[in-house]
Chains A and B, each alone.
Chain A
Amino acid sequence: MSYRHFMSPSHILRIEGAKRSSLDVARGRVAFVSLMIFLAYLVVAVRVMDVSLIQGEFADYHITDQMLEDVQLKQAEDDGNGVVLNVPRADIVDRNGVLLATSLETASLYADPYLIQNPADVAAALVEAMPDLVYGDVLQRLQRSGRFVWIKRNITPDEQYKILRIGSPGLAFKTEYRRFYPQGDMAAHVVGYTNVDGKGLVGLERSFDNMLGSKSDAPLKTTIDVRLQHVLTRELNKAISDFRGVGGAGVIMDVNTGEVLAASSMPDFDPHDPTSVSDKGAAFNRLSLGVYELGSTFKIFSTAAALEFAGAALDDRFDARKPIQVDRFKISDYHAEDRILSLPEVFMVSSNIGSALMGKMVGTETMERFFADLGLLSALDTELKEVGHPLVPNPWRDINTLTASYGHGIAVSPLQMVSAASSIVNGGVRVQPTFIYNENKRHDDAMNIRVVSPQTAHRMRQLLRLVVTDGTGANADVPGYRVGGKTGTAEKIVGGQYNHKKLISSFVGFFPMNEPRYAIFVMVDEPKGTRESFGYATGGWVAAPAVNRIVTSMAAVMAITPQPHMQEDSLVASLQSYINKDGLHGAVSAILNHGVVHSYEDMEQEAEGAR
């Protein structure tokens, strides 16, 4: 069966060949053209149905939303896993990925004054919707001549709803990204804040402004742990309010890596509300930017120097019976013991005289070099830009060595002191505080600088533990966690003079002392004594209890298993024989009488003889 046979069955009569009239041809053509026109109309009709009925049916979203999203879609890139949301500024997260700062879309209200018929009514309605606006101001803006004027940026969804209800054609929204800080004022000084245009002004927002703004999707991971940050902030605030201080600072740091787990400076601020930032110097970071004479915590350095460089032994004794008088300076003890103290005792009771004598043993040149090795003589090198430059005696004379030995005449930032102390306690390797989590850097030993020998580091661990078991830091003791540390109480300089009433009281603690992991520092600015502290406002009464509570909470948060009670004091057991428990009038043990006695006069005479 052929094709032709199928198309022209034999029973249809056909005029063929020349007999076919031209009329038939014309008729055929007319029919053909009609068919084509009909088809064309059909196509149009079908398309109209398609567009109006079929496709129109499913357009269920507002045309403006869709257009807005289409614009965003055009800007969005596809990374293979679907479209990437182009957030203008990367997030900042803590070490566990909890958001510290994020950017969210908010609507901003603007007006086209040209389209507003009755500015007075619209302004009244706007003020009703957003009571924080001022009527006169809004009216003035609505009457301007341009076609674009901001009314309010970053409004809430609720406000947006109310404005849509006004229904004025001249009001419109522009979506913008705004920085949010879910943790509020926690770690505000570390995280920082941005201005309305998304420029970082303080903290990590400032230090990493370019990186955060480079549209990279990866968040900036800090070393902060919000749980510990909360514990630190809570206890620091409690210490400040209990002792009616004007401010304070605190830090929890890993002594081996230098990672800052929590950092706080009080008073702090709400990063959402830049007006609160300018108040009372709240943006001032007392932890890293403020420099203070920190007092006795510096005895960690002078004692370590005496052990490391001056060959001091535990049975060396220091004559603390009378104050040292050098020129117009007089060095005396806060808690005067009026006796000859062994080296552990000097550290334990925090004797200024004993520490000054150790400084004299070490010598000015060695001491200055040691302080430089510990990073105490230059500004801290860390990710924050808010770092204070230490105030160092210039020129550094012998008397400065004596006063620096117990933390006077030299002002450093608290974070700097904690890093230096951690460098000794961790086994003698210099650590730098860091705020950025970096898995690779943690295992990088190439950068290690040794500041003291492991032997000296071990001695210092013992001595720091002794301060808490038997000395001025007793309030910091948490059974089972072997806290060690050193108290510090310094008088502030007001108008060029030391003021006895205005103190800087601090405590730097470490735990667990047999293998230190964490350094905890609490400082209160101008604490006042209370009835509970028997009127004392010293580091041992103000800051040590706060460190105690921080260690207790930290242990629970981080699930640190306590040490069995029996092994508790093995660290200090060997030191006990160097301590005269009964003070001046008690029996003096044989060992106590054994060592060399250092007194200022003898040392001066020796120096004279050498000359």
Chain B
Amino acid sequence: MKQVIKKNKTGFRFSILAVVCASVLAAIWLFNVSQSVQNAEKRLADLQRNVLREKKTLRVLRAEWDYLNRPARLEELSRTYLDLGAPRATQFSDDGADLPESASPDVPLRKPVAYDGGAR
């Protein structure tokens, strides 16, 4: 009889404790999950913000790139810093024998002298 009562009494108490523990654990777990979801959402928003920012920057950079590569500007730069002109029809050759043996070590950086191909 005594045994039974004791058994019942402690069984009752432990089930409450177990439920309380379980609910505390569940609460902690839930808190964790909700925190990690919030963190993930925050991170996602951060990343998307970054992507958005990068995309905006890319647009600006692209516009700047094409602005700086305007043919008029490149022409001006090449005139200032390079001694090269546009190739002329007379400078083309379809005869392999006309080509030099190999690239000479020092290619002088100056305007190519017009080669008239002996045509005129």
Contacts and interface: CB of A to CB of B under 8 A. Distances in A.
Interface in B58-83: 59-60, 62-64, 66-67, 69-72, 75
A53 to B, nearest CB: 15
Given A180-B63, A481-B89, A69 B49 contact: yes
A105 B56 contact: yes
B63 A561 contact: no
A553 B87 CA distance: 9
A515 interface: no
Contacts of A85: 52, 55-56, 59
A229 B94 CA distance: 30
B119 A552 contact: no
B6 A102 contact: no
A99 B75 contact: no
A270 to B, nearest CB: 14
A270 B112 CA distance: 37
Contacts of B52: 69, 72-73, 76, 83, 85
A564 interface: yes
A555 interface: yes
Contact of B63 (A39, A70, A182): A182
Contacts of B14: 3-4, 7
A564 B117 CA distance: 11
A552 B86 contact: yes
Given A69-B49, A73-B45, A82-B48, A564 B71 contact: no
Given A16-B6, A85-B56, A552 B88 contact: yes
B10 interface: yes
A69 B52 CA distance: 8
A83 B14 CA distance: 53
Contacts of A481: 89
A230 B48 contact: no
B36 interface: no
B63 A102 contact: yes
Contacts of A39: 24
B110 interface: no
B92 A183 contact: no
Contacts of B62: 99, 102
A83 B51 contact: yes
A447 interface: no
Contacts of B88: 552
A230 B75 CA distance: 10
A450 interface: no
A184 B70 contact: yes
A50 B64 CA distance: 43
A480 interface: yes
Contacts of B17: 7
B111 interface: no
B45 to A, nearest CB: 6
A542 interface: no
Interface of A: 3-4, 7-8, 16-17, 39, 43, 50, 66, 69-70, 72-73, 76, 78, 82-83, 85, 87, 98-99, 102, 104-105, 180, 182-184, 186, 226-227, 229-231, 234, 478-481, 552-553, 555-556, 561-562, 564-565
17 contacts: A73-B45, A73-B49, A73-B52, A83-B55, A85-B55, A85-B59, A98-B69, A99-B63, A104-B60, A105-B56, A180-B63, A226-B71, A230-B70, A480-B90, A556-B86, A556-B87, A561-B92
Given A102-B63, A226-B70, 14 more contacts: A72-B52, A73-B45, A73-B49, A83-B51, A99-B63, A102-B59, A104-B63, A182-B67, A183-B66, A229-B71, A479-B89, A479-B90, A480-B92, A552-B88
